[in-house]
Chains A and B, each alone.
Chain A
Amino acid sequence: MPKLSQEAVQKINFTLNGEAETGMAEPRMLLSDFLRNVMGVTGCHVGCEHGVCGACTVQIDGKAQRSCLTLAVQVDGRRVDTVESLAGRENELTDLQQNFKTHHGLQCGYCTPGILMSATEYLQQNPDPSEAEVRDMLSGHLCRCTGYAGIVNAIMATAKERQEKSSAAE
């Protein structure tokens, strides 16, 4: 791998929310800054920039990751999905997003994109979690407004609905 100078701007080819995209970034640029300031994807929020609060969570190749602990150059050739990808082109909320609305799982909405990106992946891996497991997963996300109850309820309700749907299909 060639050594990069600090100033050398890098071309990053990647898939962003299902579309092939190209952007330029300095080697030191964080993925969170790249997404927000270069690509204009402002649904990725920045809360602490040291990997604690979880607001900037996106999915890289389908796995929930902190974009503030990732350099932009690291996503070259990879797939990045942000909260904007969930509702898709049809602008229809996913069942998880809909449950956040129904169960009042948000107030200011700043932490919400990160939680949605984590929870979306989490439910794929753990379709039938206990409340304690959901709360444990949420320990990577700070919500300063709610009492977490609405968030937990929204995730639990989504899991339950999906279980009911799949057992009805069988």
Chain B
Amino acid sequence: MADMIKDHVLDRPNSYIGRSVPRPNAKRLLSGRGTFTDDIKLPRMTHVAFLRSTYAHAEIVSIDVSAAKESDGVVAVVTGVEMAEVCSPWVGVLSHLEGLKSAPQHALAVKKASWQGEPVVAVVANSRAEAEDAIELIDIEWKELPVVTDMETALDDATPLIHPELGDNLAWRRDLDVGDVDNAYAKADHVIEETYISNRHTGVCLETRGILADYNPGEDQLTIYHSTQAPHMMQSLFAKHLDIDEQKVRVICKDVGGSYGIKVHSYPDEYATVALAYMLKRPVKFTADRLESFTSDIHARDHRIKTKIAVSNEGEIQAFEIDDLTGIGPYSVYPRTSGIEANQVVNLTGGQYLNPNYRARATVVLQNKSPMCQYRAVGHPILTMITEGMVDDAARKIGMDPLEIRRKNLVPDDAYPYTAPSGLPFENLSHQASLEKLVKMLDYDGLRKDQAAAREQGIYRGIGLATFIEVTNPGPAFYGVGGAPISAQDGATMRLDAKGNVIVEIGVTEQGQGAEAVVAQCAATALGVTMDKIKVIAGDTDITPYGGGTWGSRAAGIGGEAAVQAGKALRQNVVEVAGIMLQSDPATLDIRDNQIVDIADGNERMELSEVGRVCYYRPDTLPKDYQSELVVTRHYVPKQFPFAFTNGVQGCYLEVDTNTGFIEFIKYCVVEDCGTVINPQLVDEQVRGGVIQGLGGALYEECLYSPEGQLLNATMADYLVPMAAEMPDIEVGHVESPTLDSELGAKGAGEAGTGGAPAAVMNAINDALDPLGGKVTVQPFTPERILQAIGKI
């Protein structure tokens, strides 16, 4: 620790940390020279297409693939029974979510299909088109089974069971009761009840899921090119379910065209693709089409939450209570499980407020819809919507301004470290500072005046505030303790070559968020070289240190810290050799701008490349008892806290057209505290992109199902996502409270925008509609729902 303070990375000369350095990989992507999984072609490569269930719940009576096998270009046709001989089933549970249950799930459905879109038969052919042609020739006899779609009735006695062996349709339940909620109700001036609904939506990665697997029997080696967020996790899972040694599986992840949590899970069609390559001993590629994406990518955020808040006339929040019901599809997704989203809702609802009385129930039920699992800002959009919805409910009831009730109840910045009622420890949050900064950015008082003036003219404008907590830099508490093969730790290997260039191999992966840039900035700063000397290699299980990949806003905070520590260690090794070469005390030397310099006056002593040259080409000129080490590896995992919780606040000012139900954004501001900001431009655009994704769920996106479990809007023309013309300019501000868990002090920033946006926009709409007696509580807040809220339709 003493050394750390003496040589702190944030005190480095010529630092790249805190600078908006353009991403080194931008030119590649701008030139169309990226390598996305579907861009890769291998010799003798085949393509797989899947016959997917058209029913939400149906038994497979018989399958006739004889005609398909004879179709042009077909290499193999494989059913679920055949697949099960090669690829073992899995069950998506984790031991720390006590009582969570799910049924064994196969790569291809064996006896029955449980959602529309579940893969049933695989056809491998010389082209995707030929594989699809052959699918048309497969004759399946189905016996339709009763369908469970409504989560409200999923546990009723009259409702059929999806997996009879489980005994019921309940996947998981969690109850929490802290303080004395009933006593708080008895004493409170007001107890306000409401029901909020977040409808199911999905990630819509522009690059669909893709995987290309190749098996070389000569070396018993599986090589898998995969559009994934977690290469080492996938390596472990593929090895396990194909019963192969993990070292014989290599997962390579090149460019990824958006992931947002969609590509951090394991999917049946991906296991099937890898198994087919293993069976056929030749490359097999699967690239989902858009329909397959809508019906087989994970969905998220299908929740109905009954809420209760107790408040005094003076605006003191005295209790929160929530009853969250969520339907997760027919299986808990493997290996992260589908209990985490509801768990986050229970853990974090109301956590930013001073209130000791909290009761929560989460009920997670099975249903015959696409499986649900973690998607960007897991649980946060829901828990922030209900927390901030409840707080506004309370403020309206007692006639207090929404800003004032927050000022009154937020946990003070000087109260940290602080433990939430759910027991989660928060290291150092800055709700007050963030809120006050936002108030200035918004010109809150000015907006209130504008709102009042507009109302006199019959124009309905509203302000919405949303304070939020954000989970970032997760340690092993998230998944590892429950038994999932997901590394919480990440490493960086740095090597100086003979020409003074530096290769950084890193366990976290690039998804477009700028991980490579951030790692390069950290490595360059810690070592003392310019960015152009650094090359970052990520996404290859044979090359990089074992790591967790990119999720939970961990790439910058965890990967960046590993790069910092590796850079410092390599610098130590370099100045040691340089000291011998220069006959100087290494403690008096430093590396700055690719030069060995004297710390005292910055005098240049020698090119860094000279150290490389001597160590590799002329080690005979060094002492015989000395061995240089120009490769180092350092790891990092957060140890003091289970997560680096962060916080922020969003503020939205919008106008509702009360004739059409359309809304128009007038102003949108976000204050985010992600600790040390490594690259402001990247962070700001993360936040903006996150807000836009949150606004998608808040305003447009909904997976619409028929009572029969048919997804009704599985095209991009029918499933609306935010486009440029409707989206606001978003102003981003920062408060910096570095985590003391790392030297770098960086926390994540990827969830902030998405987590807070639905709450901000809902509160703004309801603020606008209040004089008309209207209120929306069902997301997405469509024009139809807004008009219904004010009785226009």
Which residues of A pack against B, CB within 8 Å?
A: 26, 28-29, 36, 40-50, 52-53, 55, 82-84, 86-87, 91, 93, 97, 100-102, 104, 106-113, 116, 132, 134-136, 138-139, 141-152
Question: Which residues from B are CB-within-8-Å of A134?
Answer: 724
24 example contacts (A-B, Cβ-Cβ < 8 A) are as follows A36-B38, A36-B39, A40-B41, A45-B207, A48-B715, A49-B290, A53-B206, A86-B31, A87-B31, A93-B31, A97-B31, A101-B23, A101-B27, A106-B30, A107-B513, A108-B29, A108-B207, A136-B725, A139-B723, A139-B724, A141-B723, A142-B206, A142-B723, A144-B260
Specify which of B35, B205, B682, B730 is in contact with A104 (CB 8 Å cutoff): B682
In whole angstroms, how far apart are the Cα atoms of A147 and B694 in the complex?
A: 11
Say whether B717 contacts A50, CB under 8 Å: yes
Which of B255, B513, B717, B725 contacts A135 (CB under 8 A)?
B725
B379 at the interface (CB under 8 A from A): no
Residues of A contacting B259 in the complex (Cβ-Cβ under 8 angstroms): 108
B99 adjacent to chain A (CB < 8 Å): no
The answer to whether residues A147 and B727 also contact, given A102-B22, A107-B685 and a CB cut-off of 8 A, is yes
Residues of B within 8 Å of A53, CB to CB, are 206, 716
Is B32 a contact partner of A82 (Cβ separation < 8 A)? yes
Q: Is the CB of A149 within 8 A of B290?
A: no
Decide: A149 and B206 in contact? CB cutoff 8 A. Answer: no
Chain B: minimal CB distance from A120 (Å): 12
Alpha-carbon distance between A118 and B629 when the two chains are bound, in angstroms = 51
Chain B residues closer than 8 Å to A136, beta-carbon distance: 725
B748 at the interface (CB under 8 A from A): no
Residue of A nearest to B514 (CB): A107
Q: How far is the CB of B159 from chain A (nearest CB, A)?
A: 36
- Give chain B residues whose Cβ lies under 8 Å from the Cβ of A143: 206, 724
Q: Do B689 and A147 touch across chains, with their CB atoms under 8 A apart?
A: yes
Interchain CB contact under 8 A, B512 and A97: no
Instruction: Give every chain A residue within 8 A of B26 (Cβ-Cβ).
Output: 100-101, 106, 109
The residue of chain B having its C-beta at the shortest distance from the C-beta of A98 within the complex is B30
Does the CB pair B730–A84 fall under 8 Å? no
| B496-548, CB < 8 A from A | 511-514
Most B C-beta atoms less than 10 A away, residue of A43, A110, A135, A145: A145
Q: How far is the CA of A102 from the CA of B22 in the complex (A)?
A: 6
| Distance, CA A73 to CA B206, complexed state (A) | 26
How distant is A58 from chain B, measured CB to nearest CB, in Å?
10
Report chain A residues within 8 Å CB of B184: none
Q: Is the CB of B31 within 8 A of A147?
A: no
Query: In the complex, A148 Cα to B725 Cα: how many Å?
Result: 9
Contact (A101, B721) CB under 8 Å given A53-B716, A108-B206, A108-B257: no
- B662 proximal to A (CB < 8 A): no
Closest chain B residue, CB of each to CB of A53: B716
Counting CB contacts under 8 A, is B256 at the interface?
yes
Using CB atoms, name the residue of chain B closest to A137.
B724
CA distance A84 to B27 in the complex (A): 12
B289 to chain A, nearest CB (A): 6
Q: In the complex, what distance in Å separates the CA atom of A141 from the CA atom of B691?
A: 18
Cβ B207 vs Cβ A110 within 8 A: yes
Quote the shortest CB–CB distance from A118 to chain B (angstroms).
12
A55, A84, A109, A132, most chain B CB atoms within 10 A = A109
Leading 4 A-B pairs by shortest Cβ distance: A43-B32, A108-B512, A147-B688, A109-B29
Are B716's CB and A50's CB within 8 A? yes
Instruction: Return chain B residues, CB-CB under 8 Å to A152.
Output: 724
Smallest CB gap from B20: residue in A:
A104
- B692 CB contacts on chain A under 8 angstroms: 146-148
A142: which B residues are within 8 A, CB to CB? 204, 206, 716, 721, 723
**At the interface, yes or no: B129 with Cβ under 8 Å from chain A?**
yes
State in angstroms the CA–CA spacing of A144 and B513 once bound together. 12
Q: B206 touching A47 by the CB < 8 A rule?
A: yes
Give the complex CA separation of A116 and B716 in angstroms: 21
Least CB distance from B12 to A in Å reads: 24
Let me know if B258 is at the binding interface, CB within 8 A. yes
Contact A149–B723 (Cβ < 8 Å): no
| B interface: dominant SS | loop
Instruction: For the complex formed, measure the closest distance between the CB of B295 and the CB atoms of chain A, giving whole angstroms.
Output: 14
**Closest A residue, CB atoms, query B26:** A101
B290 engages A47 (CB within 8 Å): yes
User: For the complex, is B693 an interface residue (Cβ under 8 Å from A)?
Assistant: yes
Q: B31, A84: Cβ atoms under 8 Å?
A: yes
Q: How far is the CB of B375 from chain A (nearest CB, A)?
A: 12
Q: Which of chain A's residues has its CB closest to B256's CB?
A: A108
CB-based contact B681/A104 at 8 Å: yes
User: How far is the CB of A125 from the nearest CB of chain B, in Å?
Assistant: 18
Judged by a CB distance under 8 angstroms, whether B425 is at the interface is no
Partner of A144, one of B36, B206, B730: B206
Could you give, for residues 711-734 of chain B, a 1 whenever the CB lies within 8 Å of some chain A CB and a 0 otherwise? Answer: 000011100010111010110000
**Of A44, A97, A144, the contact of B258 (CB 8 Å cutoff):** A144
**How many angstroms between the C-alpha atoms of A111 and B682 in the bound complex?**
18
Complex: A55 Cα to B205 Cα, angstroms: 12
Contact B724 A50 (CB under 8 A): no
A136-B725, A144-B693 known; A43 and B258 CB under 8 Å?
Answer: no
- B34 contacts the other chain (Cβ, under 8 Å)? yes
| Interface presence of B33 (CB below 8 A) | yes
Given A135-B725, A139-B724, A146-B688, CB of A110 within 8 Å of CB of B30: no
Q: Which residue of B lies closest to A131 (CB)?
A: B729
Known interface pairs A109-B257, A135-B724, A149-B729; A104-B31 also in contact (CB < 8 Å): no
A144–B205 CB distance below 8 A: yes
Chain B residue with the shortest CB-CB distance to A29: B129
Contact between chains at B685 and A149 (CB < 8 Å) = yes
Interchain CB contact under 8 A, B31 and A145: no
CB distance from B17 to the nearest CB of A (A): 17
Contact with A along B45-71 (1 / 0, CB 8 A): 000000000000000000000000000
Closest beta carbon of chain A to B740's beta carbon, Å? 30
B:147-162 near A, CB below 8 Å: none
Tell me how far the C-beta of B280 lies from the nearest C-beta in chain A, rounded to whole angstroms: 20
Report the separation of the CA atoms of residues A40 and B72 in the bound assembly, to the nearest whole angstrom.
24
| A49 CB contacts on chain B under 8 angstroms | 289-290
Cα A153 to Cα B333 in complex, Å, equals 40
Give complex CA distance A149, B31 in Å.
21
* Known pairs A136-B725, A144-B206; A108 contacts B258 (CB<8 A): yes
Complex CA distance for A28 and B687, rounded to whole angstroms: 42
- Chain B residues positioned under 8 Å from A41 (CB to CB): 32
A40–B33 Cα gap in the complex (Å)? 11
Please measure, in the bound complex, the distance between the C-alpha atom of A59 and the C-alpha atom of B256, giving whole angstroms: 25
Which of chain B's residues have a CB closer than 8 A to the CB of A104?
20, 22-23, 681-682, 685
Contacts of A47 in B (CB 8 A): 206-208, 290, 716
**Across the interface, which residues of B come within 8 angstroms of A55, CB to CB?**
206
Cα of A52 to Cα of B717 in the assembled complex, Å: 6
Q: Are B257 and A45 in contact (CB under 8 A)?
A: yes
B30 touching A50, Cβ below 8 Å? no
- CB neighbours of B22 from chain A (8 A): 101-102, 104
A121 to B674, CA, bound (A): 39
Given A43-B31, A49-B290, A145:B724 Cβ within 8 A? no
Determine if B725 and A138 form an interchain contact, defined as CB atoms under 8 angstroms apart.
Answer: yes
Min distance, Cβ B394 to any Cβ of chain A, angstroms: 31
Complex CA distance for A58 and B259, rounded to whole angstroms:
24
Which residues of B337-365 have CB atoms within 8 Å of chain A's CB atoms? none
CA distance A7 to B765 in the complex (A): 56
Which of A36, A101, A147 makes the CB contact (< 8 A) with B30? A101
Can you name 17 extra interface pairs (CB under 8 A) apart from A41-B32, A93-B31, A149-B730? A29-B129, A43-B31, A43-B33, A45-B257, A47-B207, A48-B716, A52-B715, A91-B31, A93-B30, A110-B206, A134-B724, A136-B725, A138-B725, A142-B206, A147-B685, A147-B691, A151-B724
Residues of B within 8 A of A150 (CB): 685
Chain A residues positioned under 8 Å from B206 (CB to CB): 45, 47, 53, 55, 108, 110-111, 142-144
Report the Cα distance A69→B683, complex, angstroms.
36
Contact of A48 with B129 at beta-carbon distance under 8 Å, contacts A100-B26, A100-B30, A147-B685 already known: no
Distance between Cα atoms of A63 and B551 in the complex (Å): 40
